Structure 1
Amino acid sequence: MELYLKENGLRTSLAYGELEISGNEEYGFRPYQLMIASIAGCSGSVYRKILEKQRIELEDIKITAEVERNPDEANRIEKIVLHFTVKGHHLDPDKLYKNLAIARKNCAMVRSVENSIRIEETIETIELSR
């Protein structure tokens, strides 16, 4: 990955387009937003693969991320709460939590930050009728 310094941040070109990064959200994505999106995106995609392999009938998964930052330490990210809303058929909350624990162990982004950022996960299920 090549990143180019510009007046208001950085730019890189990726397969899906250009990514603008800046500490000022008028000029691009803020670095902490990209970090949260990376952690949620990795966790969610690994989780979905596990659920699909187990043939759990999913319609949708939505992830909401709540972030706690420490203003006394350069606005360091201290904690991320990932709330998974799982919509589907015949959902077993215990099985969903067990699979989420497996996903956590297999998500490179979560594993990369687990000793410096507290990550908590919750699940809400929405049972759909046929």
Structure 2
Amino acid sequence: MTHEVITTWEGNMKFHSTNPAGELYIDVAPEDGGDGEGLRPKALMLSALAGCSGLDVASLMKKMKLEVDEFFIKTVAELTEEHPKYYHTVTIEYHFKGRNLDEKKLQRAVDLSIEKYCGVMEMFRRFAKLNIETRYHHS
């Protein structure tokens, strides 16, 4: 399978990028010479990581018929000091909120995503240390 993305310069530091399912703008902050009219490239990688794993977990929660009121992923990454700057350490926190959380099954869903299904996670594993945390918030 091949994916194709077309990214076109729109002037200054702004780019328009197509995706098989939509489009987005990429730009940098004014202090970096841009106009701040788009997503930041490195942070976009973190969104891709959380989105990929989140889709896996949501699919598994559905299959396992798990009751979850709220689910979100917080991703915090540290950049290297030297150029080219890249993420060397990434912490991924899975947060589940609800009254009847089945922690064992939810952890299994997270584990399957990070160990087996999420391709973006595997890509990150090639260049960064990953710290995975699961938090349960019973209501």
Partner of 1:99: 109
How far apart are residue 88 of structure 1 and its match? 2.3
How far apart are residue 14 of structure 1 and its match? 4.6
* Cα distance in 2 for residues equivalent to 1:95 and 1:16: 31
Contact 2:92 2:133 in 1 (8 A): yes
Q: Which runs of 5+ in 1 are unaligned?
A: none
Give the 3-state SS of the residue equivalent to 1:40 in structure 2. Answer: helix
How far apart are residue 28 of structure 1 and its match? 1.6
1:52 aligns with one of 48, 59, 62: 62
Structure richer in strand, relative to its length: 1
How far apart are residue 15 of structure 1 and its match? 6.8
Identity among equivalent pairs (%): 20
Partner of 1:6: 10
Matched, 1:122 2:133: yes
TM-score in terms of structure 1 length? 0.85
Partner of 1:66: 76
How far apart are residue 44 of structure 1 and its match? 0.9
Q: Does 4-13 or 65-74 show the bigger shift?
A: 4-13
Aligned-residue CA RMSD (Å) = 2.0
Give the 3-state SS of the residue equivalent to 1:103 in structure 2. Answer: helix
TM-score in terms of structure 2 length? 0.80
* Cα distance in 2 for residues equivalent to 1:35 and 1:14: 14
